[in-house]
Amino acid sequence: MRKWLLVATAAGALSSCGGSSQSDSCASGTSQSGAYTVTACANGAPARGVDTFVFTVADANGVPQPGLNFTVEPWMPDMNHGSPGMPSISDLGGGKYQVSNVVFTMPGVWQLRTTFSSPSGEDANPQFNID
C-alpha cells in the first residue's frame, strides 16, 4: 500500500515536465551504488543568479541521513563548465541540509554535483533546466 502511494506521488511530480525528474522546484539524483539519493528543492523555481536549496539525503531504504560530509558543485554538463564560487552547506538535522550560494550563470541544464566523502567517489547529480 505504501509503495503505491509513493508511485502516485512521483507520477504527479513528473506530469508537468515531460519525463525528467525535475518538478517546478525539486529534482532528485541517486549515487552510483544507490547508497544515497539527493532531492534538491529550491524555494520556488530555481532561476539564473544566486539560489538556495534544501537537500534531503536518504539511503537506499529511504531513511534520511544526517551528519554527512559532502560538497556541491554546480555544473553544466553540455558545456563542461562550473560556476563562480562554491556553495556553502549547513546541516539542518534530520537528513536535511541547506545549500546556499548556488550560482547559475546562464540558461540551460545544470547539475548540482553532490560528492560524498564516504563511501569515496559516490556522487549524486540532481539536474535542473534553468530558463
Q: Which residues here bind Cu ion, judged by CB under 5 A?
A: 76, 79, 106
Q: How far is the CB of 101 from Cu ion (least distance, A)?
A: 18
- The nearest distance, CB 6 to Cu ion, in angstroms, is 34
C-beta closer to Cu ion: residue 60 or 106: 106
Task: Report the residue closest to Cu ion, judged by CB.
Answer: 79
In the bound state with Cu ion, the residue whose beta carbon lies nearer, of 10 and 106, is 106
For the bound state, the minimum distance from the C-beta of residue 79 to Cu ion, rounded and expressed in Å, comes to 4
61/80 with CB nearer Cu ion: 80
Beta-strand pair 70-75/88-93 = unpaired
Three-state SS annotation for the chain: CHHHHHHHHHHHHHCCCCCCCCCCCEEEEECCCCCCEEEEEECCCCCCEEEEEEEEEECCCCCECCCCCEEEEEEECCCCECCCCCCEEEEEECCEEEEEEEEECCCEEEEEEEEECCCCCCEECCEEEEC
Residue with Cβ nearer Cu ion (13 or 76):
76
- In whole angstroms, the minimum distance from the beta carbon of 75 to Cu ion comes to 10
Query: Is the sign of the CA dihedral 98, 9, 116, 102 positive or negative?
Result: negative
